[in-house]
A and B are shown apart, each in its own frame.
Chain A
Amino acid sequence: MKTIIVVGNGMVGYKFCEKFVAKEGSEKFKVIVFGEEPRPAYDRVHLSEFFENQDAKALEMAPAEWYAENNIDLIVGERVTDIHKASKKITTAKDRELSYDYLVLATGSSAFVPPIKGVEKEGVFVYRTIEDLEGMLAYAAKLKQTNPNAKAAVLGGGLLGLEAGKAVMDMGLEPHIVEFAPKLMPRQLDSRSSQVLQLKLESIGLNIHLSKATNQILGDKAITGMEFGEDDVLDVEMLIISAGIRPRDELAKTCDLEMGVRGGIVVDNKMQTSDPNIYAIGEIALYNQMIYGLVAPGYDMAGVAADQILGESKSVMAEEIDMSTKLKLIGVDVASFGEPFMPAAKGHSIIFENKTQHLYKRINVSLDGKKLLGGILVGDATDYSMLHQIYLNGMAIPEDPAQLILPATEGGGSFGDVMDLPDEAQICSCENVTKGQICGTIESGESKDLADVVSCTKAGTGCGGCKPMVKDLTEATLKSLGIEVKDTVCEHFDLNRQDLYKIIQVKGYKTFDEVLDNHGNGGHGCELCKPVVASLMASINADTANKEYAIQDSNDRFLANIQRNGTYSVVPRVPGGEITPDKLIALGEIAKKYDLYTKVTGGVRIDLFGATLNQLPLIWKDLIGHGFESGHAYGKSLRTVKTCVGSTWCRYGMDESVSFGIELENRYRGIRAPHKIKGGVSGCIRECAEARGKDFGLIAVEGGWNLYLGGNGGATPRHAELFAEQIDNKTVIKYIDRYLMLYMRTAKPLQRTAAWQERLEGGLDYLKEVIIEDKLGIAEDLENEMQTLVNKFECEWTQAINDPEMMKRFNHFVNSDEEDDNLVFVPLREQKMPEKWV
């Protein structure tokens, strides 16, 4: 058996292991990995996420057990110090000596610290490892104790520097970015896009200082400031240096491998160094006289080295390396591909810039206008995947290339169809899956839907950025094979939600069985179709969830939110967030009486956790006795209408946002929809209620309300779109009635308004035609249907506790009054929480 020693357990070193063990023949090799850091490889690209949860495990590429399971010896916390080429041995810092047949160097890079006077002072950090971050966190915590408004600077406005800037924000310090060049991200962005990015970053609170050369770091023992020139000083109490990287090539010097003038180990296209038994990959490899600081080329190098060692001599590194990248920097999309900067002699640039919305798009096309050469996107990179594919595959572009980046217009060309891509186009770069492979697995019959495609090809399982494309490709291929892409609710119906809505409405069905027996496929229903029908019955007949409780979704069945250990949480309605002291005291008393963990929710209500099934009716009796009603926090229905205090108290308020918020919340309470609905009302444009992040949002302006529709927080945040301006209260209600009813009629199951609106053919203009101009002549119907629901509202908890039959279901046991004996709570900050999940 031959031995491979991998020096370095970073992302690329790990990728080598992963790719190697997956290959045939790898079982004939013993793989030993050395890592200098105290933990297995982690995702350094997403290092800033460590500040959000401080969970180092979450960043791991693979847990330590993975190495053992794959027969890899992983030795962390031990640095390799010498290579003895002639005898094919290495020695480590712990004086161990090991022999190898092949050596793979993946030592990566370290942060470059420029020789600035005072750089050794306390409070100066580099941004590279989890240990660096832990050091920063401890230091920041100490600073904040004495000065809650402490400032921290990042030296370097490149990609990593901006990531570090986010880290500073997350630590709660005032963030400053100091860059030597006259623009941010000088290597990836042109001046104009850089300015757009700067404006956006400044708008979210970053202070940016450009064209600054740091002369020295001020302070006695610890840093107190940075000096750029005479009288040009920035007071900061912490500094993070992110001024570039240097390859960790010191090992190569110990054994005389050929190196570049400015560092890096020279490799050929097989990743072989000047010694044929030694390979170098990642940020220490000098390939084409370049060090590639991106992870994708590093992964490719890992694959090439693995192939070469296994004797696949044809597997070599591409001559030209694609440096295209797309990333989210502090929540801002930034992407560049191909040649982002292009000399005027080579082609033309088409630029779209909108500074008010912090948007910039630039594409570079060849002089004959036929090829896409590169481009830059800032603020919105949704076009990136398509543009990148067009560039990579040299596809023809439209006669007017501006169409590629301008917002789609009605009746516009269908340019950018995924099916136009050549078969060899790489769709998923993480798993290296081509369009041909995706279409092939469908054409061969192996895959029948998107889930099959993902499990057969692994496409979309890496970063997930290609998912929309994989979905489009799957649907288009199925369609081309004459297979109808159904959006049926589940295997029990050949109908979608909208079909079922019409059927139930027209036929007047009252039970799930009636719908299933008359329109189903002969089965017995499931966890997908039952809640859909339950929700439709509620939307059409104003049924409460008490009506047919066995078809209700988990939460609706017991009118409470099921939590981790099978207990429930309780949220009474507090319309608009307005609550009297007496009611607030009552909530506290009730929480205390039943020993409930108490927390203010994201929707500014009060959530009481840890109620057992048996306790739910008792708690609600008490709550109802104090004038509360169900808050429907468990339902796919209206949650809250969040309000700012508005003109009743606020000196800036333009209108009574609380009063109107309460009116709206009471109007739409209890109405079941395809998904939950949230509203917001702000009394002025300062927008303290965050109304534009809601399904419907209102902002008071001179002369009325501005109405925004289709906003969303959650996994895919989206700002609501401005729908109507300066309208009065009555018109607001009219429009929201029509909007919500249209959404309830036509959306897919569990589709929020944001996703529904985005996919609505004709978009916002169509919505305006239907809702404002009544193009379809249904506005009155929509309003009447909504009014019926409003009139029929009944608090389902009041209904439940007054009906002994309904109360029966709130017993944990059907044959005993005892409670679930499996519940274990542990103390948490003077309250309690369920025991951790194993």
Chain B
Amino acid sequence: MNILSDKYTTVKPENVTIWFKAAPVTAFPKDGGACVKYKDLQIAVFNFKRLNTWYACQNLSPEKQEMVLSRGMIGDHKGIPMVACPLHKKIFSLENGENLNGDLEAIATYPVKIENDFVYVGFSE
């Protein structure tokens, strides 16, 4: 079952080779997320308006292998920006993917940039 999560590995900004043009900024809720399809990947993208920052991570919850993280609430846990999985409220750092309230494996995170009101997600291929 780990075949799914094997598809997702963290991409550092310096390693980006492809900036995928995902959707206009307005397609994402303020302080919330939506899911972007890139090839056979599902990427959760969050508009963290309160920090004026965008985050992206795998949409796959590592707990039970469901594609749901983009539907989770975001906010901070002791100052760390996080997303809470809608199924059992496991929370993950949006900065490094770490599970902040348990010992699940970390999720993959991806760089995001905004150009001309469009959201781009960075991949390395």
Contact = CB atoms under 8 A, between A and B. Distances in A.
Contact of A566 (B1, B28, B66, B76): B66
A549 interface: yes
B79 A523 contact: yes
A822 B66 contact: yes
A774 interface: no
B37 to A, nearest CB: 4
A659 interface: no
A566 B75 contact: no
Contacts of B91: 526-527
A140 to B, nearest CB: 36
B73 A527 contact: yes
Contact of B86 (A491, A562, A565): A562
16 contacts: A491-B77, A524-B48, A525-B75, A525-B76, A526-B82, A526-B91, A527-B75, A529-B75, A531-B73, A551-B31, A558-B71, A564-B64, A813-B37, A814-B34, A815-B22, A822-B4
B57 interface: no
B64 A554 contact: no
Nearest to B40: A821
B73 to A, nearest CB: 5
A815 B67 contact: no
A816 interface: yes
Interface of B: 1, 4, 22-23, 27-32, 34-37, 40, 42, 45, 48, 50-51, 60, 64-68, 71-79, 81-82, 84, 86-87, 89, 91
In the A-B complex, the 6 residue pairs with the closest CB atoms: A550-B32, A554-B86, A527-B84, A526-B75, A814-B34, A525-B75
Interface centre among A491, A524, A530 (most CB of B within 10 A): A524
Nearest to B86: A554
Nearest to B83: A527
A529 B77 CA distance: 12
Contacts of B50: 513, 524-525
Nearest to A513: B50
Contacts of A838: 1, 64-65
A526 B76 contact: yes
Contacts of A523: 75-76, 79
Contact of A812 (B31, B35, B40, B66): B35
A562 B77 contact: no
Interface residues on A, range: 35 or more
A529 B23 CA distance: 30
B66 A530 contact: no
A44 interface: no
A531 B87 CA distance: 15
Contact of A814 (B23, B74, B89): B23
A440 to B, nearest CB: 26
Contacts of A562: 68, 71, 86-87
A613 B34 CA distance: 12
A813 B28 CA distance: 11
Nearest to A534: B73
Given A814-B34, A814-B45, A822-B4, A550 B73 contact: yes
A551 B72 CA distance: 9
Nearest to A838: B1
Contacts of A513: 31, 50
B84 A526 contact: yes
Interface in A799-829: 808-809, 812-816, 818, 820-822
A813 B45 CA distance: 11
B30 A550 contact: yes
Nearest to B50: A524
A526 B77 contact: yes
Interface centre among B34, B51, B64, B82 (most CB of A within 10 A): B34
A527 B88 CA distance: 11
Given A527-B89, A814-B23, A551 B73 contact: yes
A649 interface: no
A816 B22 CA distance: 10
Given A527-B73, A815-B23, A566 B32 contact: no
A557 interface: yes
A818 B27 contact: no
Contacts of B68: 562, 566
A519 to B, nearest CB: 15
Interface centre among B27, B28, B75, B91 (most CB of A within 10 A): B75
A562 B34 CA distance: 16
B51 A524 contact: yes
Contact of A554 (B28, B71, B74, B76): B71
Interface in A551-610: 551, 553-554, 557-558, 562, 564-566
A565 B77 CA distance: 26
A821 B27 CA distance: 21
A558 B72 CA distance: 11
A603 B81 CA distance: 39
Contacts of A808: 27
Contacts of A812: 35, 67
Contacts of B78: 491
A530 B1 contact: no
Contact of B73 (A526, A809, A837): A526
Interface centre among B23, B42, B66, B78 (most CB of A within 10 A): B66
Contacts of B81: 524
Contacts of A558: 71
B66 A549 contact: no
A566 B27 contact: no
A613 B65 CA distance: 17
A510 to B, nearest CB: 14
B68 to A, nearest CB: 4
Interface centre among B22, B51, B73 (most CB of A within 10 A): B73
